[in-house]
Structure 1
C-alpha cells in the first residue's frame, strides 16, 4: 500500500542548497534543539520517553517558531516510528481516513506510525473525535502541534488520551545560538554590530523561524560594512506582536492589566495597556474593562475612579485615536494609584445570593407604598418614620421583612473614602442599638 505522504522512517535527506535557511538549519537530533531543554533534556518528558524507547501521544503547545515540527520529526527517528505529517489547514476527513488506513496496514507488518498533525486545533470537534479509536488501539501515536490553548481548542476526550507538553518562546541565548549556527553554515558573519545583533534577536519575539528568515534576508543582500540598530530598522520590517483578539493572548494580557491595577502597580499596568493597544486591541474594550475595574476593585474607596473611567470613554469617543488614547492612559493610572476595595463587589454577590434564597418576602408594612385608601386601611405605610424629621436625620427604623434577620452585605474597608463610610455606618449602628 503506497504511502500518501511518504514513508520516512530513515532520516530525511539534507535540504537542497537553495532551501530556506530555517530548513537547512533543522537540527539532526533532539539534543540539538534549542530552548526546550525542560522537555528534551534527560529529565524532561520527551527525554524520558526517548530513553525508555516508548512514546505516548502528545500535544505540543507553544508559540510559533519554537520547534514543534522539528521535535515531532526527531521523535519519530529517535524511537523508530514511521512518520506521517498532516496539516489541519489543508487536510480533510478523506486525508485522515487514508492516513489511518496506511498506519493500520503498516501496523500489521509490525511497524508503528507517528502521525504529526500541525495546527491540530483547526480540526473541528467531530474531526478530533475521529482520532480517538486509532489512538486507543495503538494504530497511531499522535503528536499534535498547536499555538492555541488546548484547554479551549481541543476535545476533552482527546486531551485525556494525550499528554500536553508546553514549549517555551525562545530566549535571547537560544536565538543567538541559531544566529551562530547560520553564520557557521554560510561561513560568514552577519553584517551587524553588537547592538544591531541584539536588536535583531529582540525583534524575533521568541520565534526562531522568523529570526532565521530575517537573517537570510540580511545574508542574501550585499551590505557594505555593518548595520547599527537604526540601519537594521530601516532595512527590515518590524515584527508585529502576536496577538489575536479572540484568543488566549488577548485574555492573558487583559488579566495581566487587571491584576497589575489591583496590585497598585501603575508602571506594569501602563505596560500591559500599551501591549494591548499597540497590538491593535479595540480601545473601547479596554475602557469597558477599566470601568468594570473601577467598580469591582476600587468602589467607594474612591468613587471618582468610576467617574474618571467614564470620562475617559467620553473623551475617546470625542477625540478618537490616537489623541483619545491619552484619556485611557489617565484612567488607567488613576485606577492603579487609587485606594482599593472590593467591598461593593462582595456586597453585590452576597445580596444577590440572599435575594435568590429568600424569594418573595414582603417588606415590612411601615415602608410599603400606600397610594390608595384601601392600602392605608390595611396598614400599608403605617408607622413610617420620616428620617428627615428625626434627630440627626436618622430614625433607626427597621426596613427588613419580618421573616428575615437583618444581614450585613457591605463592610467598608479602612482605605480611602470608605474609612469615612465605615465611621458613618458605625455611628448609625450605635444609634440603632439604642
Structure 2
C-alpha cells in the first residue's frame, strides 16, 4: 500500500491548471488540516489502521475535501468514483451502485465521493443507506453546509463528520511557496501585493493557486506587481455568504451578540459582512428592531425608536444612502445600556397565562353597564387612581384566585434605574 504520509513527491501532472498540478499526492502535502492529520487526528488514525469509514467532509471551498477523499481511496485500495450532486440523479446512482457490486464480487471495494452532497434531496440521500450498510460502497460526502441541517438523520448516523478549517495565512503562504517552486520562479508581486493576494483568497487554497496562475500569465516580463496593479489583474473575490443557508444565520448571530456585548466596532464589521455579501438591508433592520426590545428594552426607550426610524429611512432612501441609517441604528444599539428585563417579563407572563387558564378579572375592575352587572358586584369598590392624593390607589388587579406575581424586574442600568425606583415606591404604597 502507498505510504500516504511519505515525504512530499513531485510527480504531478505535467499539464492542466496549476491547482491540479499541485494537488497533494500524499497526506503530508495537505496543508491547514493538522487537527485531522496530525498525531492522534481522526484521519491519521484511519490511515494508520488501513480502514476507511464513511465520512462527511464539512468545510469551506478550497480546503482539500476532494483531495483527501482521493487519498483515502488509496488507503484500502478502493476504486475512486466521483460525482457531483448538482449534475447527478437517481439513474446515475443506480449505475454506480451496480458497478460497485460487481467490483465487490471481484474483491475490490469502492469509495464513492459525492461533492455537494447536501444538494441531493431526501429520497436520493435515502438511496445510499442499504449500500453503505452492506459495505457495497464507502461513502465520502463533501459539503459547505451544516450537515445536521442538510443531511437526513438516518444517513448522517452512519457517517462520521469531519470539519475542515479554512486555510490560515501560514497555510496559504506554504501553498504559494509550493507554486513558486513548481513554476521555478518567484511570483512577480511586491510584499504588499503578496499580502493582499493571501487576504483575497479568503482561506480558499484552490482560489489562491488560480489567482497565482493568472498573475504568472498576465504579468509582463520583469514586471513587479504592486497592490493597485494586482487589483486590476485579478478580480476581487466576493466574501462567502449565502443568504438562505448557514452563513446567513452565523453572521446575524455574530451581529446580534456583538450588539449585546456593546462592541460597536465588531457589530459594524458583521453588519458590513452581511451587506457586502448581498443581504437584504430590510432584514437587518427588522433584526435591529427585535434587538431593541429584546436586549435593551426600557433601559433606553429610544432604542426602539432609532431602530424603527432606520427601517423607515431605508425604505425612503434605498441603497446605498439608506444603509447609513442602519449603521446609525447599529451604533446606537451597541452603545445603549442593555437590559433583557422586558424579554424576561414577557416570557414569565406568557407562562403564567398558560398555567392559570381562564381566571376572571376581580369584580371591582370590571365595568358595569347594566343593572344586573351592578347587582353582581361589577365595579364595586373600585378606586379611581387620579382621585387619590398620590395618583395611586394600591388596589389589587390580579384575579382573586391568584396570588400576586412579579414578572418585570428592571435592572440598575440606564432609564430602567428610574423605572425600578417607581416600582419600589408603588410596592411600598401597596404594602402600606
Same fold (TM over 0.5): yes
1:169 aligns with 2:166: yes
C-alpha separation between the residues in 1 aligned to 2:176 and 2:37?
21
Give the equivalent residue in structure 2 for 1:367: 365
C-alpha separation between the residues in 2 aligned to 1:348 and 1:72?
51
Give the equivalent residue in structure 2 for 1:3: none
Root mean square deviation of aligned Cα: 1.6
Conserved 8 A contact 2:219-2:225: no
Give the equivalent residue in structure 2 for 1:61: 58
Deviations 1:258-294 (A, max 9, x none): 0000011111011111111111111100000000000
Conserved 8 A contact 1:14-1:24: no
1:274 aligns with 2:302: no
Taking the TM superposition and a 5 Å limit, the aligned residue runs for 1:356-395 are 356-395=354-393
C-alpha separation between the residues in 2 aligned to 1:380 and 1:14?
94
1:391 aligned counterpart, secondary structure: coil
Aligned-residue offset at 1:371: 2.1
Aligned-residue offset at 1:409: 0.7
Give the equivalent residue in structure 1 for 2:402: 404
Conserved 8 A contact 1:10-1:77: no
Give the equivalent residue in structure 2 for 1:46: 43
Give the equivalent residue in structure 1 for 2:319: 321
2:161 aligned counterpart, secondary structure: strand
With over 3 angstroms needed to count, the CA separation of the structure-2 counterparts of 1:32 and 1:226, relative to structure 1, is same
C-alpha separation between the residues in 1 aligned to 2:219 and 2:399?
85
Deviations 1:221-274 (A, max 9, x none): 242420111110122111001101001111000000000000111110111111
Aligned-residue offset at 1:109: 2.1
Aligned-residue offset at 1:164: 0.3
Q: Provide the aligned length of Structure 1 versus Structure 2.
A: 425
Give the equivalent residue in structure 1 for 2:81: 84
Aligned-residue offset at 1:184: 1.2
2:405 aligned counterpart, secondary structure: coil
Give the equivalent residue in structure 2 for 1:244: 242
With over 3 angstroms needed to count, the CA separation of the structure-2 counterparts of 1:15 and 1:95, relative to structure 1, is farther
Taking the TM superposition and a 5 Å limit, the aligned residue runs for 1:292-371 are 292-371=290-369
Runs of 4+ in structure 1 off by over 4 angstroms are 13-16
Give the equivalent residue in structure 1 for 2:202: 205
TM-score, with length taken from structure 1: 0.95
C-alpha separation between the residues in 1 aligned to 2:3 and 2:308?
64
C-alpha separation between the residues in 2 aligned to 1:369 and 1:135?
71
Structure 1 window deviating more from structure 2 (251-260 vs 370-379): it is 370-379
TM-score, with length taken from structure 2: 0.96
Give the equivalent residue in structure 2 for 1:218: 215
Give the equivalent residue in structure 2 for 1:71: 68
Structure 1 window deviating more from structure 2 (223-232 vs 422-431): it is 223-232
Which structure 1 residue ranges, 5 or more long, are not aligned? 1-8
Aligned-residue offset at 1:78: 2.5
Aligned-residue offset at 1:42: 2.7
Structure 1 window deviating more from structure 2 (278-287 vs 179-188): it is 179-188
Taking the TM superposition and a 5 Å limit, the aligned residue runs for 1:187-198 are 187-198=184-195
1:134 aligned counterpart, secondary structure: helix
Deviations 1:316-345 (A, max 9, x none): 122221111111111101111111000000
1:393 aligned counterpart, secondary structure: coil
Deviations 1:190-244 (A, max 9, x none): 1101110110010000011111111111111242420111110122111001101
